[in-house]
Structure 1
Amino acid sequence: MITNPYLQLDELVSLIETLPNYRVFKKLVVPIKDYKNDSIFGRGKVEELTEIIKHDTNIDGVVIGLSSIDVAQYITLQKIWRKPLYDKYRIILQIFKHYAKTNESRLQIALAEIPYLKMKLRMNQQIVKMKEIDPTLDISSIFHENIYFNNDNRTSFHEKLEILNQREDKLKKSLEKIKQGRENRKMSNSSSLQNPYPIIAVIGYTNSGKTSLIKALAVNQTKLSPENRLFATLDVSLHQGILPYSEKVLYLDTIGFISDIPVSLISAFQVTLSDINRADILLHVRDASHPDTNFQNLTVMETLKSLGIKQELIDNMIEVHNKIDLLPKLTVHTKIENPKLKIFPTSITKSVGLSELLTGIHMLLLKRQNKSTIHLKIPIQLYSKIYSYLLKMNASIVKTEPTDDSQNYMLEIVIDQKTLSIFKINFDPRYIVV
């Protein structure tokens, strides 16, 4: 997905060093002979890497920047290198497990871990066969993980696999209950007299600045602590904000996306990420300073589609081109895949472009909710009654002021067409100033 292998390597290093006490001592771009080959690399490259690993005492493990490696590849390379072996799947899984805070995210991570545990079980089966063929083989000196080193006759391979399948089903049912609870709350909110505030889902590639943007736009968010690391957000959360004309909205902070992420990891977070479909607007935060920003954008688009996000939301999405302060002469990337998108260059750290962005969100909400700005001229004796009515109907009252003769009040309001039609039934339509 990333066009430059050195950029891909840099992203992998950032992933690894997101974990506490993990440090990269050596990084290499190595050509791959065949993704399906047991050794992955050519024979000469394997020998070259073996010499590096053998003589560098700082190396405690090896990370291969592939989405995932299979059992045969794992066993083959670990037999040669005799160091713990990791792929992208396992690194991301470790990050998720370390930083998960809520019960929901822990359930989703446990579900994402099942495919790895099944792979580990198959690997154990192969190791047992290796030991049967060569009883003198010192398995513990080759494999450093917590795996079974002997044939457990009490529990067969198929029985262990069934235990994992049962655990997988149990986790899916628990997550389905959470999803159903959300749907029930959603139906309850939609049937209540008080309309919920519009929801702005903030999405984007990991470490693009989503949480920082929400902290800048939302009110009273001193507890939000954006971190400069990949996957700083693993749980969705709602934060209240105020748009122009005092309209209240809720910003939905979401988990970041990343290229070449294993399908099972994204699938496990379906319940959390399905909240994006509740949004009225998508706000896509992009790191405009990143040399691969367009490919990061492609990753986000493909992930949204794989999650089943409504096409209408994607088509009407706002793009926030963040970190323009890191670009020369504040230029921004101008390649736009969809000309319908509204693009707002920003620097969250420098507070550049935020007021324009808020206005853009407000204008799009007016359009999507069929709202418009109108003016009312109300007799002073009806002012309190109509003012209270408008608030009850969730109209946004922008401005009020008495007329020069003090007989009337002028009101500027933002209101949807349905509410305006009801207003015309309950009050004199001539109060509306054309």
Structure 2
Amino acid sequence: MANFRYLPNTEQDRQAMLETIGVKDIMDIFSDLPENVRREGKMNLPEPLSEMEIVKEMTKMAALNTSSSQKPFFLGAGTYDHHVPSIVKHIIMRQEFLTAYVPYQPEVSQGELQALFEWQTMIAELTGMDLANCGMYDGYNAVSEAANLAFGHVKKSNKVLVSKGLNPQAIETVKTYGFGKNYSVEEIALENEVTSLEDLKAKLNPEVAAVIVQYPNFFGSIEDLKAIKAVLEGTKTLLIVSANPLALGKLEKPGALGADITVGDVQPFGIPMSLGGPHCGYFAVNDKLMRKIPSRIVGETVDEEGRRGFVMTLSTREQHIRREKATSNYSSNQALFALSSSIAMSAYGKVGIQELAQANINNTHYLAKELKAAGFEVVNTKPFFNEFVIKLNKDIQQVNKALFEKGFVGGFDASKAIGMENAYLLCATEKRTKEEMDDFVTALVEVAK
């Protein structure tokens, strides 16, 4: 990444700006505020540092972190240690993409518009849905906006059902959105670490706007979307699928299995972990829901001379249409990271994505096999993708601390999410080598047995 520098204003710069706006002192800008709410004196902050000093200080602070380039990473749970092709950085660092804003003026935004159009096409093809918008803030925002869409679409509905196999952070976000929109969110129990069809049947009624499941789910297991859709037959309830886009390189597309809305996060394609964010969400629907999709859709057209061009075709957010007609007040998307993921997908190609998905399957199953041979109980009874759960007999926090001292970043404590004591969620992406996995098994035996 390029080394950017912050150049502060000089005192002369500040005085020139104050003179331009017709005031003598910076505090004059706040003269409209009552004196009793103004802060007197300087804030309790450290003295300013020179550029050389601040770089040293920040470098020292950054060194306290441990990155995945330093230790083998077996933590997943929503953010994954995947390879980022070098071409991604070379393209997104181009000035016309790095500094681009919302493409309101298509005549000067053709590059960004075309990139988003191509991304939408890739997402629609990958998910098997009819169309996709040009991106969301992240996967949790996307699944919550999908719940809002369903609530507005299904008349007389007041409830959304979410599988306990959905990422816990996603469940919490959906509940927050539900509070704002005044619909309730009820969880569907698990049976053998996947959504219980019997519990779904018991809780399904005409007031349910949508059923939300994750594919593969939070514990890595692959949900039976076809069976879940069959339960919804004859109802107006929508099926919302939160899908890992990399897994779709090998799994059947949600659109082919009856999903009405497919959402997710494209972090597995070309987006670094970055301490858990930022990410980039995607949102894909069937034709019937096109005009209720949040954010924007970029479309292809021709100009007066018949040349191919791109424009914002559909914008249902409040900034573009009357507020009462808007589907969402949602504004921000992650256009630069949408571009990152489309570059990565293009670099891999259709066959490459399939091979990458298979590598994740192979590594995870090898790790599970070796752990089972070492005496650990593998909880997953269903096929799984690049994550799985094992049962430990020791406190997970202490196990992870001991693993870290041995040179590994361990897994996630999924005990609360799955309803089992010391449930340890592990992930093995394509970046994990056989040697790393073998060494990890040896270390886990030493610290957890």
User: What's the TM-score, normalizing by structure 2?
Assistant: 0.22
More helix by share: 1
Q: Which has the higher contact order (CA 8 A, sep 6+)?
A: 2
Of structures 1 and 2, the larger Rg is shown by: 1
